[in-house]
Amino acid sequence: MIANFITAVQPAAGAPPASSDFMSDVIAGLSSEPRTLPCKYFYDERGAALFQKICELPEYYITRTEIDILDRHRTEIAAHLGAQINLIGLGTGSGTKTRILIEALERPAGYIPVDISEKQLRKSTALFHKIFPDLEILPVCADYLQPVALPSTRRKAARNVVYFPGSTIGNFEPDEATQFLRRIAKVCCHGGALLIGVDLRKDRDVIEAAYNDTAGVTARFNLNLLARANRELRADFDLQHWQHRAIYNSDAGRIEMYLISQIDQAVHVADYTFEFRSGEKIITEFSYKYAPEGFAALARNAGFEFQKMWTDDARLFGVFYFTCSADTSG
């Protein structure tokens, strides 16, 4: 087995995360101060479809910029990653970006995508089997924030390379990001590497427009979190009485996404009742934006050595390449 992300607990490969986790996380989040809902639950079937639409919006620069960086620099990136690697993709979704990488890689030993969305994982895996018939693909449906043991490929790999796209690392508080990167370093040990997408700091207007699109798709995506609770947890959120809002906190260097109660109201989730005042917020996502040197320092504290960053002409986004600076297998 490849080293576990957190502990030696192995869920069944291909099994979706338990719905009981959703219930317990929602109850805990709505009982906290401030109130929160974990952003990892955005991506049910409808949420994943809405996010695909977000990626196509003119205001949402993140996905198209990352794809463009990968496409323009694929040969150089592949040369750095090397031949016969195990590529481990965390939250790679539809696989558009990963496909660019795999097309450029030299004789990869295998591809192990880990994703919380079972339907999207099955769909992308089926597509990749057609595109790369000789590549061993071992999908794992799991929440990679939880204990996950990864399968081993039949072919011996030169090293493990973890690919973490989409600037998802920005959803972690900085201390949590460091701890998570340390877990990744355990997977990358013995000469492994990390390729990670990071949204860079930039003008407030550009950032806020990306999360408050004029078509209202991001608002529907955010509100779908409440709709999912209604569908799966016997909740009774009235979506007409909730509003999406995203603001950039320049002091913290992060986007803050909220659902805001428009009236005084009571909401039931299973056997629990939660009272909300008009104007009260539920935090659904923080997305930190980093200066290149700041992110390199954060990764260094987690056991990685900065090697290279590829970016676009406007320096909106960075694709960072790190190697493990020490053996973290212990």
- Residue 125 has a CB neighbour count (10 Å cut-off) of 18
Average pLDDT of the chain? 91
Whole-prediction pTM value? 0.88
- Per-residue confidence (pLDDT) for residue 5, from 0 to 100: 45
Report the alpha-carbon distance of residue 319 to residue 198 in Å, rounded: 6
> pLDDT tens-digit profile of 286-327?
999 999 999 999 999 999 999 999 999 999 999 999 999 765
For the chain, domain boundaries: 19-58+205-288, 61-202+290-324
- Check residue 116 and give its pLDDT: 82
Q: Who wins on pLDDT, 208 or 152? A: 208
Is pLDDT of 128 > 70? yes
Average pLDDT over residues 153-177: 94
How buried is 178 (Cβ within 10 angstroms: 0-12 exposed, 13-18 middle, 19+ buried)? middle
Predicted pLDDT at 144: 86
pLDDT, mean of residues 254-266: 98
Encode pLDDT of 2-55 as tens digits.
434 433 223 334 444 556 789 999 999 999 999 999 998 998 889 989 998 999
Q: Is 61-202+290-324 a CATH 3.40.50.150 domain? A: yes
Task: Quote the pLDDT of residue 103.
Answer: 97
